Structure 1
Amino acid sequence: MAKIYIAGAHSRGITTGFYLKYLDPSLEIVAYLYDNDEDNPSDVDGVPVIRIDADTKLEVDIVVYLATRGVNRGHLTDTLRKIGMKHIVPVDVKFDTELRNRFLTKYFAEQNREFIKIYNYNTEEGAPLSAERKRFQIYVASAVFDQKLSNSYSLDESERVIQVGTALADQRLDAAYFDNTGDNISEKNRQFCELTALYWIWKNAREDVVGLAHYRRHFLLPDNWKQIMDREKIDVILPVPLYVYPSLEDNFRNRHVGEKWDEMLLYLKENRPEDYENASHFFKNSGLFFPCNMLIARKEVFDELCEWLFPIEFHVAEAGGVLEDRYQNRYPAFIAERLITYFFEMNREKYHIVYADKNFLE
């Protein structure tokens, strides 16, 4: 039986451990490790969570998967090296993507579902199709408050920047669109984040196929993705789902303010009882979700999602109010990730859905 350590005891570390254990049930996770003052659980499903320093005694020949936020990666690596660990494997974007895709291939097969990515189709250019007569646009949400990227990135020909939170900023980016024009909710950006772009696209965009990406997260698409989407009659492209522990609901409650989740469920119970039972069961029993509120969809499907989503979001934000903690104040956007996941999972027989990987720029 192979043994491993996971360096990191929060969402990334726990998710990495889940992927590895799912792919190889004989694997033994000896412990989750950390070396700072952050709050951590005492154990994860019975596996101890241990605070380490240079004097900690570990089995130095065991592989350590370094699965933590970038801000913690450097000092945690130093601590592991001082202990004498011989095999440290960074869980970077490339590794995480490969691991996640292996997990999903096995998971979907065991659920008697197909894990279909857009790359599964013929990616050779071929003859022009009716897509040539359609308009495609991926809106890339960016704000003046965004951190400067060290990675260089050139927008795809189908991508255009939309400045979000424009109503809250004096500065204007070199953007093609601004979320404070037309019918908009730009002033809600501190809480709604990229959802102010989602709303703007819903109310103002006129393209046949629309999408939403981020300044540091973009879909990785084949060159002829438009032709594939048209030829295969694809309704929606979603980011490859990730797993969160132990379920969508419990993960939100563990990481965010649980009362805001309660407000969302209360709205469903009082206004959409048909969704309430299904959603409650789904959120308690599923750990897969589509991150970052990203998607590409036929405009009709995009509109159906938004018509369903935003009444819930407006209620939650109005009932929940503004929080002093800037990160937790983004609870409407965090809830939206779970709601969008539910919407497309419940409608997976109605829509032709495929998945695509995304990048992460630093």
Structure 2
Amino acid sequence: MTKPVDPVALTADLIRCQSVTPDEGGALVLLEGLLSSAGFDCHRADRGGVSNLFARWGAKGAARSFGFNGHTDVVPVGDAAAWSHDPFGGAIEGGILWGRGATDMKSGVAAFAAAAVDFVRMTPPDGAVILTVTGDEEGPGRDGTRAILDWMANHGEAMSVCLVGEPTCPETMGEMMKIGRRGSMTAYVEATGMQGHSAYPHRAKNPLHALVDWLARLTAEPLDDGTAHFDPSTLAITGIDCANTANNVIPAKARAMVNIRFNDAHSSASLIDWLRAEAGGVTAATGVTFTFDMQVSGESFVTPPGPFVDLVAGAVKAETGVAPVLSTSGGTSDARFVKDHCPVVEFGLVGRTMHQVDECVEVAQIEQLKAVYARILKDYFA
């Protein structure tokens, strides 16, 4: 009888692959070998110098297919000398696994790969199990999960539902799952006036005054009070400068950055219209003009509570003893791309140390996470 896949050992092996975005580092090669040996049909969906893996067990076009999504790329280690363990060593001490990606999210990928392999070997389902793993989640995201989904569309592949294995629990295993995410966008704005002497401001058009006026309009009132599944949207001024070193010169140009995390009361298009309208009001009053570069990372979305959400939440509670909060908090994830393909939720382990020096995870959490994913597969195909 084939031994079950050890998710802890697999996580450690993945950590030893130095897959800092966009380097593949051997992580996807390792996974492809494991999955191929278990009968998965594996394909690379590489694009733009980014490595991506698609793997399916079961018939193409099956009536129902359960998908997992995750990433093996990691952020840089920073000051390696500040780490107490080799960031790419995969050391285990005192029940703790250390290394870059231990939390975010090589453990999640290892857990769902191990659960999927054991499941199809021991209880082959009536349907398909699909794994999509990218090397471009921590980077721009243009050629990662989006490239896999494009490849799937071109090759007639589809997931009925998908679970993203990002870490979702703040402090305790099982306490939270994500059923949606806020949208995210950044406005880079440049205000252009007319340079002049600070002693004669009437002979200039001060872009800083106009820019501050515009920013004050944006922050005067909350964007909203929250919606059924989301906290209130937030707007943060994240930068303002004019590169002026002369204290007696009114500069010609000034720049600012504004980041907005928005709920389903808005779309990026409606917010862009609002930003431009407020700038138009300032231009009418001051003569200072505004130009924008709008970058949208993703729209808000929610997978409403229902059979799929209930199935995942039930499996989490059964394996952890904790009923997870259904949350839409946090930043963005690749679920923002998957939601255009099929219903998607997220559940993973405690993310307390992600992106930190000495990133680490409790070995017991990885084993528990595999058990949660295994139960989800069993219940989905029951």
Indicate the TM-score class for this superposition, using the shorter chain for normalisation. Answer: under 0.3
Q: TM-score, normalised by structure 1?
A: 0.23
More strand by share: 2
More helix by share: 1
Larger radius of gyration: 2
- Identify which of structures 1 and 2 has the higher relative contact order when contacts are C-alpha pairs closer than 8 Å and 6+ apart: 2
